[in-house]
Amino acid sequence: MQRRDFLKASSLALSYVGFFTAAPINAFGTSLKGQNLLGFKAISASTKDEVIVPSGYEVKPLISFGDPLFSNATPFDESKTINATSIANIAKTFGDNTDGMSLFPLDDERAILCVNNEYINPELLFNDNGKTMDEQKVAYEQNAVGVSIFEIKQGQNGFEVVLDSPYNRRITAHTPMQISGGAKGHKSMRTKADKKGELALGTLNNCANGQTPWGTYLTCEENFDDFFGSSDANYKFTESEKRYGLGVKSTYGWELDSRFDLAKNPNEPNRFGFIVEIDPYDANSTPIKRTALGRFKHENVEIVISKEGNVVAYMGDDEINEFLYKFVSKGKFDPNNPKNNKNLLDEGTLYVAKFEGENLSGKGEWIELSYGKNNLVAKNGFHSQADILINTRLAASIVGATPMDRPEWIAADLKGEFVYATLTNNKKRESTDAANPRVKNIYGQIIRWSPKKNNHLDTKFEWDMFLLAGNPTKHPNSLHKGTSNITKDNMFNSPDGLKFDKFGRLWIQTDGDYSNKGDYEGMGNNQMLCADPATGEIRRFLTAPIAAEVTGLAFSSDHKTMFVGIQHPGEKLAPSHYPNGGNSTPRSTIVQIRKKDGGIIGS
Ligand code: FEO
Ligand code: CA
Ligand code: CA
Ligand code: CA
């Protein structure tokens, strides 16, 4: 067998390490035959400008950027006219850069889909490719980001968007949001427009997401710094502002709007970088920024309920050498008392992870980030819990957390035995440790930890490496070849999206280098793969169009339709015209995938 040859040939046989055995075991040698969790035939890498799925499956778009959510909105306009009308219109359509999403069932045929609209691609939005920005363009972009919430209904040929549903809603950079939890009202949360520090406008760079068992959607604010700049080139940045990536020139030029100009509103960025809770069943509800979960570049949030009923939220901070976090609620989830669950995310304890070990496994610890503990005291700049919640990165560094290779999504398995996290890559890593074992890590890895005795409240855990991504063809003799479950037929780089389906399959989405050249040769466009967590086997399930990232995943209640986000096809003017072909502008799109025989996805 190829895999066995591969293992034999490799001088550095990185075997799959099992938790519950002292010695490393190779889980692949024997168990591939006879297991049937992965029931589809793997597809090849692709560089085509289309979404490809395995034989026996069909794929079609559900909604693309600019598609109306209301009947009084006009469809996407290829003329790209920017004026008051188009600015108002875009806020009534599906936003740009589809990312994390969750499905909330209404009945057998209908559901609400909540979808993040992470950012914008000015090079595709404007006729001058965004080379110059003005206030109107900024206003247009502010209405194209945030969150889109809409009803979908199963029809003859798959799901369709229900225009004008009472659930339909666009949340933009202007939508009022309550600030709650420990940072509410703190002096660094106050602005000229909000003297109490209790009401923010908008949510930004909504990357991935989470879903609570009490029926709310969690949207996670990631690279908010991209939207802020300073009209004063000599603005003196604090240590915290620098750590959060703020600089004089923003990525998007939004400092044309004084709210995003640090020289005029230095506290405004302190009101972003949080997890925001939204009630999808009430389109008039006010979203709530849950500051107790810390401020950083949030990727997603994976909610687990402890045996005792506490809400445990696992979170990653996506930047090189940043950290993995855990929040444990003080209150307990009570399925029979919805009112009681409403504010569970306001009070609790925040922790950050420290990893130790060798040979791709080891032990770890959750270190508490509470005021007065672990040197989080005045002499280190912390005068309250609010200081920790607003400057979480600085606090985590003080307590000795392990700098990771860009934490992206986190997913807990069905029994809550293992929690998996994608560490997407870290091209700048100079020194290694057990959990981040490669310098110049261009491929990324998936690490997993196991709370002791399945107790998510325990501050100790054991961990191992589910995979190191790599290129076994290009790097047969180094760690860059990847672990033994990476082969020439399934290789990929930069794992990012990560989610279990309800049958225990682990779906992996990539956001990496799609050049298909050099170190990345043989990987093709970004892709989605599916892993059997028991055997470690990985099969490629989907390939994305040109220059797109695959991010965001939801299933219909019957698991017979899968929704997948195709983000930024044709970014940086790469030659994509997905999804409409011809000369059309490429647009971020959610696709729906079904098995032609009507079966369960993946089976
Ligand atoms: Fe928005 Fe870390 O990806
Ligand atoms: Ca991501
Ligand atoms: Ca990414
Ligand atoms: Ca992205």
Distance of CA 177 to the CA centre of its chain: 21
Give yes or no for a contact between 25 and 549, defined as CB atoms under 8 angstroms apart: no
Q: pLDDT at position 35, please?
A: 52
| Cα 353 to ligand 4 centroid, rounded to whole Å | 24
> Which atom of ligand 1 lies nearest, measured to the CA of 223?
1
Q: pLDDT at position 454, please?
A: 85
Residue 552 has pLDDT above 90, yes or no: yes
Unique residue bearing structure tokens 């299933």: 555
Burial 48-60 (b: 16+ CB within 10 A, else e): ebbbbbbeebebe
Q: What percent of the chain has pLDDT over 70?
A: 94
| Cα 409 to ligand 2 centroid, rounded to whole Å | 7
Give yes or no for a contact between 438 and 479, defined as CB atoms under 8 angstroms apart: yes
> Which atom of ligand 1 lies nearest, measured to the CA of 299?
2
DSSP structure string for 421-436: EEE--BTT--S--SSS
Q: pLDDT at position 7, please?
A: 31
> Which atom of ligand 1 lies nearest, measured to the CA of 316?
2
Q: pLDDT at position 84, please?
A: 98
> Which atom of ligand 1 lies nearest, measured to the CA of 408?
2
**How far apart are the C-alpha atoms of 542 and 598, rounded to whole Å?**
18
Give yes or no for a contact between 94 and 66, defined as CB atoms under 8 angstroms apart: yes
Q: Is the whole model's pTM more than 0.85, yes or no?
A: yes
pLDDT digits (tens, 9 = 90+) for 77-102: 999 999 999 999 999 999 999 999 99
The pLDDT mean for the chain works out to 94
| Mean pLDDT across 568-572 | 98
| Mean pLDDT across 290-312 | 98
Pocket of ligand 1 (CB under 6 A): 118, 207, 222, 299, 318, 408
pLDDT digits (tens, 9 = 90+) for 61-81: 999 999 999 999 999 999 999
| Mean pLDDT across 277-281 | 98
How many residues can be counted in the chain?
603
| Mean pLDDT across 30-48 | 79
Q: What percent of the chain has pLDDT over 90?
A: 93
Residue 251's pLDDT band (cuts 50, 70, 90) = very high
| Ligand whose nearest atom lies closest to the CA of 407 | 1
Give yes or no for a contact between 328 and 312, defined as CB atoms under 8 angstroms apart: yes
pLDDT digits (tens, 9 = 90+) for 125-161: 999 999 999 999 999 999 999 999 999 999 999 999 9
pLDDT digits (tens, 9 = 90+) for 168-202: 999 999 999 999 999 999 999 999 999 999 999 99
Q: For residue 446, which phi and psi values (nearest 5 degrees)?
A: -120, 115
| Cα 365 to ligand 2 centroid, rounded to whole Å | 25
> Which atom of ligand 1 lies nearest, measured to the CA of 406?
2
Give yes or no for a contact between 315 and 295, defined as CB atoms under 8 angstroms apart: no
Tokens of 11: 């001088």
| Ligand whose nearest atom lies closest to the CA of 207 | 1
- SS3 at position 416: coil
Q: pLDDT at position 14, please?
A: 41
| Mean pLDDT across 209-216 | 98
Residue 405's pLDDT band (cuts 50, 70, 90) = very high
Tokens of 335: 């399925």
| Mean pLDDT across 407-417 | 95
| Cα 576 to ligand 1 centroid, rounded to whole Å | 22
Residue 19 has pLDDT above 80, yes or no: no
Q: Whose CA is nearest to atom 1 of ligand 1?
A: 207
Residue 27 has pLDDT above 50, yes or no: no
| Ligand whose nearest atom lies closest to the CA of 444 | 3
Q: pLDDT at position 29, please?
A: 34
3-state secondary structure 224-247: HHHHCECCCCCCCCCHHHHHCCCC
3-state secondary structure 124-141: HHCCCCCCCCCHHHHHHH
| Cα 407 to ligand 3 centroid, rounded to whole Å | 9
| Cα 115 to ligand 1 centroid, rounded to whole Å | 14
Residue 603 has pLDDT above 60, yes or no: yes
| Cα 83 to ligand 2 centroid, rounded to whole Å | 32
**How far apart are the C-alpha atoms of 520 and 509, rounded to whole Å?**
16
Give yes or no for a contact between 133 and 112, defined as CB atoms under 8 angstroms apart: no
